[in-house]
Structure 1
Amino acid sequence: MTGATVWLTGLPSAGKTTIAHELAGRLRGDGHRVEVLDGDEVREFLSAGLGFSREDRHTNVQRIGFVAELLASNGVTVLVPVIAPYTDSREAVRKRHQTQGTPYVEVHVATPVEVCSVRDVKGLYAKQAAGEIAGLTGVDDPYEEPEAPDLRIESQHQTVQESASALYALLIEKGLL
């Protein structure tokens, strides 16, 4: 069975994790081996102690990329919903996969910051607006949008199921399912 890394990048509260879990359920139902490497969980267990400087964010993304490639190279479809705000960090992960011959798909969950701040699942936008936190990606810290992702999802215009279905169709088209 072919594994692959499916990297879902986007702003906080864009819908990355929700879409990943929806797709994971569908793939598991089809009998695929699937793992979701959620950015928040990885930060808690694999990247504990890292902050949110550019260097720490890069290190976090590289750690996630390493684990994703390891799993994908062993036949697991790995869904990676992480912000990964910097192009150079995402490109380093892509290159690692290319070097190892492991399929890699980049998905930009391109939800506008105005929509994300209304969703504000974790209360981050409210905390930033109140001056309680700084360095919020897409507000007072940069987010470099992917220039040519394999798929761009505008989650504000479709349901979670439609977003997951679009990604499922892409994986079939690429011969990964």
Structure 2
Amino acid sequence: MTENNIVWHDTTIKKEERQERNGHKSTILWFTGLSGAGKSTLANALEQQLFKQGKNSYVLDGDNVRHGLNKGLGFSDEDRKENIRRIGEVAKLFVDAGTIVCTAFISPFKEDRDRVRNLVEEGEFIEVYVRCSLEACEERDPKGLYKKARAGEIPEFTGISSPYEEPESPEVIVDSDKQTVEESVEIIISYLQEKNIL
């Protein structure tokens, strides 16, 4: 088997050294929630604040990643699992590089989110549940996807014809239908400071 011929090569520079040089710890901020909840908006607003503070950060956005790395994956349960598996592995590389990585993915299945959590050390995976009612998400419908899903044009659409498993004990919850983007960012920044990540 090919795997028998692949040997892990340790890097010379360690994660801890990168973190020390950057002046902050590295972590995965995993934004999860329904389509239209505001995950990408929030992840980008947070990154803007981190950038202003001189922190190394990067946003991995669900739609953007499907244009390249995950091009060709559909929305069946198996493809969704593979989508999240790949993103988890990429996010882990960012953590090793000493970067705060903000991932904005619906990631509807708890098992898949837990699998990513288990890729990194304790405290390096922060689940941010962007909570928003289905009604509010449908009202926003920024990409017109709910309208298409209700018309039967999009099969297996999360929240309509495919399930979304809410996080049971996320590190951070923001209510995007009740809080402003600025308030939500402040909640996350406060959490990062409290955990000595920043």
- The TM-score normalised by the length of structure 2 is 0.86
* Aligned-residue offset at 1:39: 0.6
Question: Are 2:104 and 1:74 aligned?
Answer: no
Question: Are 2:177 and 1:153 aligned?
Answer: no
Which structure is higher in helix share? 1
2:167 corresponds to which letter in structure 1? P
Question: Are 2:138 and 1:117 aligned?
Answer: yes
Aligned match of 2:129: 108
Superimposed CA distance per residue, residues 70-97 of structure 1 (whole angstroms, 9 cap, x where no aligned partner): 0112110000010000011000000011
Aligned match of 1:61: 84
Q: Distance in 2 between matches of 1:176 and 1:156?
A: 27
- Mark the runs of 5 or more structure 1 residues left unpaired by the alignment: none
- Mark the runs of 5 or more structure 2 residues left unpaired by the alignment: 1-18, 20-24
Aligned match of 1:22: 45
Superimposed CA distance per residue, residues 119-140 of structure 1 (whole angstroms, 9 cap, x where no aligned partner): 1011100101122112110111
Superimposed CA distance per residue, residues 107-159 of structure 1 (whole angstroms, 9 cap, x where no aligned partner): 11010110000110111001011221121101110000000000111111110
CA root-mean-square deviation: 1.0
2:42 touches 2:185 (CA, 8 Å); kept in 1? Answer: yes
Q: Distance in 2 between matches of 1:26 and 1:133?
A: 35
Higher radius of gyration, 1 or 2: 2
Q: Distance in 1 between matches of 2:46 and 2:149?
A: 31
Question: 2:156 pairs with 135, 144, 158, which one?
Answer: 135
Q: Distance in 1 between matches of 2:160 and 2:151?
A: 13
Runs of 4+ in 1 over 3 A off after TM superposition: none
Question: Are 2:193 and 1:172 aligned?
Answer: yes
Q: Distance in 2 between matches of 1:117 and 1:149?
A: 24
1:97 touches 1:104 (CA, 8 Å); kept in 2? Answer: yes
Count of residue pairs the alignment pairs up: 175
Q: Distance in 2 between matches of 1:102 and 1:19?
A: 21
Aligned match of 2:67: 44
1:61 touches 1:84 (CA, 8 Å); kept in 2? Answer: yes
Q: Distance in 2 between matches of 1:102 and 1:50?
A: 30
* Aligned-residue offset at 1:162: 0.5
Q: Distance in 1 between matches of 2:194 and 2:164?
A: 29
For the residue of structure 2 that corresponds to 1:91, the secondary structure is helix
Give aligned-pair identity as a percent: 44
Higher relative contact order at CA 8 Å, sep ≥6: structure 1 or structure 2? 1
